[in-house]
Structure 1
């Protein structure tokens, strides 16, 4: 069958854009003006018609009317430039990114965000001011406790409170992942566990003392998160000038906020009525030994009761109503009086420490009352102790111990938190210990852990990760994806 040609489609009707028409008629004398405006998308056309009527009479009386019409059309085109108001991530400034990062819920969330790309990592690594502000707004989490024992130290992780889990469900999984990757069994120590004991813990680093190595007593620093270990010999010559046996009463760890990979170790020892300190620097890998200083008394500095606050060691001088202060920068040794109300009992019922703002404070317990003083300066420029709070926690303690007899010891006061241990006997005749923390600003008491543990305990707080710090303000290389 022959095909027939298809009929051509009808011509497409030209679309007429919608218009808006406005008529204006004006008549004055014999002059009339009509204005018509038509507005379409993007254009406006204005037509103005002017009619002039002239009336004249001839000589024979005939009237002649003459109308002259003039039209003028004007078309105006309005151009519209579309500008994009969209903002991309790459267009954000460093200040914008830091403002966003400050709103993250915690330190693990910041680590995940900054490891997303190189530029974001550089924004955080290059700013010490940001690190300080973030740490002030989001205190690093307490993730566990290190205990000492007769054989080896051990770590017990803490479960987050229900309120923490509800406000930030991801924090628990982040901390768990960090614990799994870390060396919290201390397997990176070069020797067996026997002989090592924890003597301080600060900014995520442990300070351990090997007291059973008879060949050479040694110290070690260990970062469980990064597995970094440093073995340090004790200072040679520290016993020089001592007429009797030398007593090591404590070791302290001091880190640097600007350069977290650097640290110092302060060793405090006594010889009857004298004291001296030795300071090790990881930057020079050497010790500086303070001369012997006579403090009087009768060997009144007890083991492991000193506190490091703002670059000075504060050690209770029992039976004398004061503390000694050793400035770790100048090695000067001075005496600081205690508040009159403090009745020291073997260093167990009071501790020097610092508030969240870094102020020196004294926390003293009498029964189930906590008394807090902060070091301040009066109008004459004299340093004084200013009483702050008197905290009663009998109801909270009774809630956990069911009115059992107890013995309370202040373990540590650091960054605005008081850590307490309480020893009590159960109805079955077994000894138990509970560990608590009290926030000095909110006065909230939390039960951290309970069981049959030694009361020499060291809270482990997650430190600022080395991957978020640059030694020269630059990125340098891609960071590892770890805390």
Structure 2
């Protein structure tokens, strides 16, 4: 018989399952070394200057490989960051080597480091006790100097930053001794370097007689000089005199020589090695001192001249009548900026004139001179038409030849071979 007091049992409690203890994951570490080349090069594009890029690229092999393997990146970087002006080389009377004056840009520590590391004393050039006055600069381009020793008849191409030295063979006797014609005259030598093929370069020189012009070319690949055929001058060009062309200028990859008495220029296309002729404005006839050929920031051919304190920029383009000619594109009145820049270095009653020296990558290099006294000390200035910024570069103390030294793309940053 069942007891009236029934005993009820509670159902067994279900045990709660605790979630498994999470195993902590170590955070993913992302460093600059794990970035892809595309992102890395995009970062490098934001560096302020070419010296800063060199310093970054040489930090490790992967950075260097990324820069060296991308010609497109190098073109973009050059477009955004023009090669910087490092300083000026000056010819000095009575010395066997030129002197150097750096540009004082204290805000750019990487540029200052590049200057300190450069062989600005040209110590690798061959030295000869009896060779006087020694080495003269005949051109400066792409970070290299082209020098000539008149006593030893040597020609040398030297890069003070990389210390790469090339000694060129003497030009053929018929050129070097002036036997091509009774009135043959050599004007100057120009150095052309390959941007994508380090160590490859050409040297071009112009010769002329009373009515014709011709070029000789040295190629580093062939290691020999080549004499090109004569080219007849335009009908209005010849003067019948021994000297009828001024010293040449380079711009936009070509060479230009203005006529001493007429309003035109001889032009040499350095790619096709063909001569042509270009007219100048009539008011610049025989006035080669007051104008210079150059190129704008976007690579257009330009002609810069001054009238008083006004700087004029002309472009070579098609006019309304369908004919190509020099057309004034812009002008800048610089009196206030020039007087402020020269304050304290001149007398208040000095009358000044502007002298344009070079026009490169859209930058105009000029000096304010005391009228009638070309030997007076003055400042080298740079003027950017795009930003209207006038900058003091260095002080000019004597009236000898001078060459702006602009840092070129280092050969170590070109190509893909990283073997030691």
Structure 1 and Structure 2 fold alike (TM over 0.5): yes
2:138 to 199, 204, 216: 199
Aligned to 1:348, what secondary structure does the other structure show? helix
For residues 393 and 183 of structure 1, do their structure 2 counterparts lie closer, same or farther at Cα, with a shift above 3 Å needed? same
- What residue is the counterpart of 2:48 in the other structure? 105
For residues 80-107 of structure 1, give each alpha carbon's deviation from its aligned partner in whole angstroms, at most 9, with x where no partner exists. 9979665343431110110111112222
* RCO comparison, higher one (Cα < 8 Å, 6+): 2
Instruction: Give, in angstroms, the shift of residue 185 of structure 1.
Output: 0.7
Q: Is the 8 A contact 1:264 1:281 kept in 2?
A: yes
**Deviation, structure 1 residue 182:** 2.0
* Shift in CA distance, 88/115, structure 1 to aligned 2, threshold 3 Å: same
- Whether 1:413 and 2:359 are equivalent positions in the alignment is yes
**Structure 1, residues 169-220: CA drift from partner, whole Å, max 9, x if none?**
xx23x3333333321111211134723111211121011122233xxx3321
Other-structure match for 2:244: 300
1:318 is aligned to: 260
Cα displacement (A) at 1:243:
3.1
The 2-side partners of 1:94 and 1:445 are apart by 38
2:336 is paired with a residue whose SS is helix
Q: CA–CA distance in 1 between the matches of 2:202 and 2:404?
A: 20
Which of these residues, 208, 217, 225, is aligned with residue 279 of structure 1? Answer: 217
What SS does the corresponding residue of 2:195 show, helix, strand or coil? coil
Which position in structure 1 is the counterpart of 2:73?
A: 130
The alignment status of 1:460 with 2:405, answered yes or no, reads yes
Q: 1 CA distance for matches of 2:33 and 2:409?
A: 26
Q: Please, which of 162, 166, 174 is the counterpart of residue 230 of structure 1?
A: 166
Contact conserved, 1:425 with 1:431, CA < 8 A, in 2? no
Structure 1 counterpart of 2:111, from 170, 175, 180: 175
Partner of 1:438: 383
Matching of residue 342 in structure 1 with residue 288 in structure 2: no
In 1: Cα distance, 2:266 partner to 2:171 partner: 22
Corresponding residue number in structure 1 for 2:7: none
- C-alpha RMSD of the superposition: 3.1
Note if contact 2:317-2:327 (Cα within 8 Å) is conserved in structure 1. Answer: yes
Whole-angstrom CA distance in 2 between matches of 1:319 and 1:348: 13
Alignment of 1:110-125 (within 5 A): 110-125=53-68
Deviation of 1:264 after TM superposition, in Å, equals: 1.1
Per-residue deviation, 1:267: 0.8
Q: Kindly indicate which of the two structures has a greater share of residues assigned to strand.
A: 1
Greater mean alpha carbon deviation, residues 453-462 or residues 126-135: 453-462
Closer, same or farther in 2 for the Cα pair 1:246/1:154, shift >3 Å? Answer: farther
Specify the alignment match of 2:101 in structure 1: 156
Residue by residue, what CA displacement relative to the aligned partner does 1:206-237 show, whole Å, maximum 9, x if unpaired? Answer: 11122233xxx332111001211112234213
Distance 1:96 1:301, change over 3 A: same
Structure 2 unaligned residues grouped into runs of 5+: 1-13
Residue pair 2:105, 2:112 contacting (<8 A) in 1 also = no
Deviation at 1:112, TM superposition (A): 2.1
Is the 8 Å Cα contact of residues 311 and 331 (structure 2) preserved in structure 1? yes
1:26 alignment counterpart? none
Mapping of 1:44-123 within 5 angstroms?
A: 86-123=29-66
How far apart are residue 331 of structure 1 and its match? Answer: 2.3
Shift of 1:376: 2.6
How far apart are the structure 1 equivalents of 2:31 and 2:379?
A: 52
TM-score, with structure 1 as normaliser: 0.73
**What are the ranges of 5 or more consecutive residues in structure 1 without an aligned counterpart?**
1-71, 166-170, 479-483
- Write out per-residue CA displacement over residues 296-346 of structure 1, whole angstroms, 9 at most, x where no aligned residue: 1233212x3x2222332111113211111111232221111123443442x
The answer to whether the Cα contact below 8 Å between 2:302 and 2:314 also exists between their aligned partners in 1 is yes
Show CA shifts across 1:262-283 (max 9, x none). 1111111222333221111112
TM-score, normalised by the number of residues in structure 2: 0.83
**3-state secondary structure, aligned to 1:447:** strand
Counterpart position of 1:309: 251
Aligned to 1:370: 311
Q: State the distance in 1 between where 2:255 and 2:380 align.
A: 25
Q: Deviations for 1:31-65, whole angstroms, at most 9, x for unmatched residues?
A: xxxxxxxxxxxxxxxxxxxxxxxxxxxxxxxxxxx
| Equivalenced residues, count | 390
SS of equivalent to 2:267: strand
Higher Cα Rg, which structure: 1
